[in-house]
Amino acid sequence: MLANIRIVLVQTFHPGNIGSAARAMKTMGLSDLTLVAPKAFPDPEAERLAAGALDLVQGARVVETLSDAVADCVRVVGASARLRSLPLPHYDEPDDMAADLVEDARSDKVALVFGRERYGLTNDEIGHCSHQVSIPTNPDYGILNLAQAVQVLAYEVRRAWRHHPGSDAPQRSPEDRQSTREQLGHFHDHLSRVMQGSGFLTQPHARTEKQLQALFARAEPTRKELSLLRGLLASLERQEPKQEP
């Protein structure tokens, strides 16, 4: 189960933070590290600060975009110090987040996403997540460095894993499992085409589409439900009147 839980670091500036984050992961039994466009990697400083977690640093997967990093995940939780304009489901308590993450990790890949040291995740990057989580720190001084944030949330994940009551329960059937971010992305592209083709959107409405994305993030459709929705959209497309030349 823990092998299905991925830690994603986005555009890490200081390579030493990659090593420190890997060390924080290994102490909690996590091993899947993915780096999105790191500023300097591989780097001796990352290996030095990894200490006994050198294997995680050397085995880290490097990708160019956050979308690439989480495409196969069914739940993607972005760690953010503050709420953003995108109305995604938000966990106020990390232990609630960890319980849901561990439950999904029984059968699918999930991810915890951490942003840059200086300003975290952008709104666009949060948009690639299904949920957000905040660490309840001192409101007068809530600054955590990257490795500290990884350590706190990794600890919550391990704690939930140790107390997970359904670890021996039968896994869900493929059609009842949650949709991956890649599958949801294809659905949103399809929905956008239908809305534009039907005249519902007569000009770009980024806000409308983001609100719909957030709606389906909250709904957490299964793969069967998403297939039904795609079938509905395909039926509507076939009924659209052809445009006159």
* CATH code of 10's domain: 3.40.1280.10
* Residue with the larger pLDDT of the pair 108 and 218: 108
> Using an 8 Å Cβ cutoff, are 80 and 132 in contact?
yes
Based on the structure, what is the number of domains in the chain? 2
Q: Per mean pLDDT, which range of 93-97, 135-139, 168-172, 215-219 is the poorest? A: 168-172
**Whether residues 15 and 99 fall in one domain:** yes
Domain C-terminal end among 162, 186, 209: 162
* CATH code of 211's domain: 1.10.8.590
> Using an 8 Å Cβ cutoff, are 39 and 146 in contact?
no
**Whether residues 35 and 96 fall in one domain:** yes
Instruction: Record the tokens describing residue 88, joined without a space.
Output: 């995604």
Cα–Cα distance, 162 to 102 (Å, whole number): 10
**Whether residues 217 and 132 fall in one domain:** no
Q: Which of 13, 25, 19, 27 is nearest to 49 (CA)?
A: 19
Task: Tell me which amino acid residue 132 is.
Answer: Q
Classify residue 153: in a domain, yes or no: yes
pLDDT computed for residue 200 by the predictor: 82
Share of the chain above pLDDT 70, in %: 90
Classify residue 97: in a domain, yes or no: yes
pLDDT computed for residue 166 by the predictor: 52
pLDDT computed for residue 85 by the predictor: 60
Instruction: Record the tokens describing residue 98, joined without a space.
Output: 């960890």
Model pLDDT for residues 117-152, shown as the tens digit of each residue = 988 999 889 889 999 999 999 989 888 999 999 999
**Whether residues 85 and 140 fall in one domain:** yes
pLDDT computed for residue 203 by the predictor: 67
Domain C-terminal end among 162, 197, 230: 162
**Whether residues 33 and 100 fall in one domain:** yes
What is the spatial order of strands in the sheet that 61-63 belongs to?
61-63, 32-36, 5-10, 109-114, 73-79, 131-133, 90-91
> Using an 8 Å Cβ cutoff, are 95 and 158 in contact?
no
205: CB partners within 8 A, 6+ apart: none
Q: Which of 148, 121, 141 is nearest to 132 (CA)?
A: 121
**Whether residues 18 and 102 fall in one domain:** yes
Confidence grade of residue 168 (pLDDT, cut at 50, 70, 90): low
**Whether residues 119 and 21 fall in one domain:** yes
**Whether residues 133 and 228 fall in one domain:** no
Distances, alpha carbon 224 to alpha carbons 179, 228, 230, in Å: 9, 6, 10
Model pLDDT for residues 189-244, shown as the tens digit of each residue = 899 888 888 888 776 666 788 788 888 888 889 989 999 999 999 988 888 655 55
Q: Domain range holding 204?
A: 177-239
**Whether residues 151 and 224 fall in one domain:** no
Q: Is pLDDT at 89 greater than 80 in this prediction?
A: yes
Would you tell me the crossing angle of helices 94-105 and 146-162 to the nearest 10 degrees? 60
